[in-house]
Structure 1
Amino acid sequence: MGTIDFAPLFRSTVGFDRLFDLLDGAARFEAADDYPPYNIEKTGEDAYRITMAVAGFEPDELSITTQPNLLVVAGQKAKQDNVQYLHHGLATRAFEHRFDLADYVRVKDANLENGLLSVDLVRELPEAMKPRKIQIGQAQQPKAIEAKAADSQPEETKKAA
Structure 2
Amino acid sequence: MTKLTLGSHPFLLGFDQLERLVERTAKAGNEGYPPYNIEQSSDHSYRITLAVAGFREEDLSITVEDRQLVIRGRQTEEEESRIFLHRGIAARQFQRSFVLAEGVEVGAAQLENGLLHVDLSRARPETVVQTITISKR
TM-score (norm 2): 0.80
d(CA) in 1 for partners of 2:74, 2:55: 8
What are the ranges of 5 or more consecutive residues in structure 2 without an aligned counterpart?
A: 132-137
Aligned residue pair count: 127
Question: Partner amino acid for 1:45?
Answer: D
Match of 1:14 in 2: 13
What are the ranges of 5 or more consecutive residues in structure 1 without an aligned counterpart?
A: 137-161
d(CA) in 2 for partners of 1:35, 1:18: 29
1:37-56 matches, cutoff 5 A: 37-56=35-54
Query: 1:26/1:101 Cα in 2 relative to 1: closer, same or farther (>3 Å)?
Result: closer
How far does residue 102 in structure 1 lie from its aligned partner after superposition? 0.4
User: What's the Cα RMSD here?
Assistant: 2.4
More helix by share: 1
Q: Deviations over 1:28-56 (max 9, x none)?
A: 68652x11000111111110000000000
Match of 1:77 in 2: 75
Query: 1:26/1:106 Cα in 2 relative to 1: closer, same or farther (>3 Å)?
Result: closer
Match of 2:105 in 1: 106
**8 A contact 2:36–2:51 mirrored in 1:** yes
**2:114 is aligned with 1:115:** yes
Larger radius of gyration: 1
Match of 1:142 in 2: none
Query: 1:17/1:65 Cα in 2 relative to 1: closer, same or farther (>3 Å)?
Result: same
Match of 1:95 in 2: 94
Query: Which residue among 121, 126, 130 is the counterpart of 1:130?
Result: 126
Greater mean deviation of Cα atoms: 102-111 or 78-87: 78-87
More strand by share: 2
Question: Partner amino acid for 1:92?
Answer: A
Where 1:87 maps in the other structure, the secondary structure is coil
| Structure with larger RCO (C-alpha < 8 A, sep 6+) | 2
4+ residue runs over 6 A deviation: none
Identity of aligned residues (%): 40
How far does residue 25 in structure 1 lie from its aligned partner after superposition? 4.5
